[in-house]
């Protein structure tokens, strides 16, 4: 019975990883850009929510009202001013710029908030749980997973049912031809990164409410997100959720055997999938 419990915990943890990964997957899908600062932007989002909570005395959920548009604007500006300049055939400039950005964000957070661990206040939500037969499941992990599913549904709706989604797909297929049809690729890319940053903010909310965070934990979040995307297969958001679940289950099972093996087990699951199915479980995109 303890194993069933461990696996359920793992699946729900996978929801958090899918939230980390969806933004990465979205940006890569539209402009073939891998943002190495993705994990640090999640941590930045968590600190932004913490700041709003502390200064205005709001609950973390309500603080999203301020944090979401702020992070959208940050993503839009970052793409428009910096990242659009380095997009192109050569993959080196965007990689190096976002790597530099990662180091800058980490150290700016360290300078502003110190290296102390922080946590977002959860009130009663943090300890609430639902009894399912003999197993009790935390409300917060359930909420995280439900949010991940909701985010993916909404993203798929945006992609296939709106004019913005059509512009995303057109620009992704062929930016030059799309621009002949009156689309400004630069603005589309900026909107995509802005959208990715709103998902990052939602991920940051759950990250901050579920566990302690400090300025240095960004790169590990990037790695989990990346593993979920690759396991799922590029271009498939539901695949990304499956990838997140696989990493989550591997980590909780590993931790149940030996607490020191938690992270290692996740990485090994990723390498095993890479060995058996190099293009992931549900590949859609060619590259």
Partner 1 sequence: MSSTNPSFDRSFSMQTRTRASSIAPIAAFFLVVILFALPFFASRSLIQDMFFILTMLVLAQFWNLLAGYGGLVSIGQQAFVGLGAYAMFGLVVLGGLDPFPAIAAGGVAALLLAVPMAYFSFKLQGAYFAIGTWVIAEVVRLLVAQWKAVGGGTGTSLPRSATGNLMFSDTIQSMLDVRAAAANDILAYWLAVILCLVTIGGIYTLLRTKLGLGLAALRDNVEAAKSVGVDAMRIKWFVFLVAALGTGLTGALIYLQKARISPDAAFSVNDWTAYVIFIVVIGGIGTIEGPIIGILVFFILQTLLADYGSWYLMTLGGLAIAVMLFAPRGLWGLVYDHTGIEIFPIRRMLVGGSQSTSD
| Span near partner 1 by CB under 8 A; candidates 27-35, 123-131, 150-158, 245-253 | 27-35
Residues 191-220 that bind partner 1 (CB under 8 A): 219
Q: Is residue 129 classed as helix, strand or coil in its secondary structure?
A: strand
Nearer to partner 1, 45 or 266 (CB): 266
Angle between helices 139-161 and 2-31 (to 10 degrees): 30
When asked if residue 257 is in the footprint of partner 1 (CB under 8 A), the reply is no
List 54, 59, 107, 156, residue binding partner 1 (CB under 8 A): 107
Q: Which of 12, 36, 71, 256 binds partner 1 (CB under 8 A)?
A: 36
Cβ atoms 255, 204 nearer than 8 A: no
Q: How far is the CB of 59 from partner 1 (least distance, A)?
A: 31
Q: State the minimum distance, in angstroms, from the CB of residue 110 to partner 1.
A: 5
Q: Among 11, 125, 264, 281, indicate the residue that binds partner 1 (CB under 8 A).
A: 264
Which of 4, 56, 82, 154 touches partner 1 by CB under 8 A?
Answer: 82
What three-state secondary structure class fits 93? Answer: helix
d(CA 88, CA 3): 48
In angstroms and rounded to an integer, the radius of gyration of the C-alpha atoms of the chain is 19
> Bridge-partner residues for 118, per DSSP?
213
Distance CA 246, CA 200 (A): 20
Q: Which residues of 100-118 are buried (b: 16+ CB within 10 A; e: fewer)?
A: ebbeebbeebeeebeeeee
> Is 184 a binder of partner 1 (CB under 8 A)?
no
Which of 6, 223, 238, 283 touches partner 1 by CB under 8 A? Answer: 223
Nearer to partner 1, 213 or 226 (CB): 226
**β-pair partners for 129:** 138
Contact call for residue 17 and partner 1 (CB under 8 A): no
116: Cα separation from own chain's centroid = 23
Using CB under 8 A as the criterion, which residues of the chain lie in contact with partner 1 when the complex forms?
Answer: 28, 32-34, 36, 82, 85-86, 91-97, 99-104, 106-108, 110-111, 219, 222-223, 226-227, 230, 260, 263-264, 267-268, 270-271, 274-275, 278, 287
């Amino acid at each position: 019975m303890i194993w069933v419990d461990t696996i359920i915990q793992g699946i729900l943890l996978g929801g958090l990883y899918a939230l980390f990964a969806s933004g990465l997957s979205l940006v890569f899908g539209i402009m073939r850009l891998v943002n190495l600062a993705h994990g640090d932007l999640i941590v930045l989002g968590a600190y932004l929510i913490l700041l709003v909570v502390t200064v205005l005395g709001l609950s973390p959920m309500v603080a999203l009202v301020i944090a979401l548009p702020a992070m959208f604007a940050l993503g839009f500006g970052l793409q428009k001013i910096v990242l659009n300049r380095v997009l192109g055939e050569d993959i080196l400039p965007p990689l190096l710029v976002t790597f530099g950005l990662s180091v800058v964000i980490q150290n700016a957070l360290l300078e502003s908030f110190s290296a102390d661990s922080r946590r977002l206040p959860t009130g009663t939500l943090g300890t609430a749980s639902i009894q399912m037969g003999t197993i009790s499941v935390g409300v917060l992990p359930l909420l995280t997973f439900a949010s991940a599913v909701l985010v993916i549904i909404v993203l798929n709706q945006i992609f296939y049912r709106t004019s913005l989604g059509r512009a995303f797909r057109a620009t992704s297929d062929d930016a030059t031809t799309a621009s002949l049809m009156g689309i400004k690729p630069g603005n589309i890319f900026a909107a995509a990164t802005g959208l990715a940053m709103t998902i990052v903010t939602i991920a940051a909310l759950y990250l901050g409410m579920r566990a302690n965070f400090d300025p240095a934990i960004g790169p590990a979040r990037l790695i989990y997100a990346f593993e979920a995307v690759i396991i799922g297969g590029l271009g498939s958001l539901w695949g990304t959720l499956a990838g997140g679940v696989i990493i989550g289950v591997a980590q909780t099972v590993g931790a149940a055997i030996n607490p020191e093996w938690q992270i290692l087990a996740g990485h090994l699951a990723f390498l095993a999938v890479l060995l058996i199915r190099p293009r992931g479980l549900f590949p859609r995109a060619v590259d």
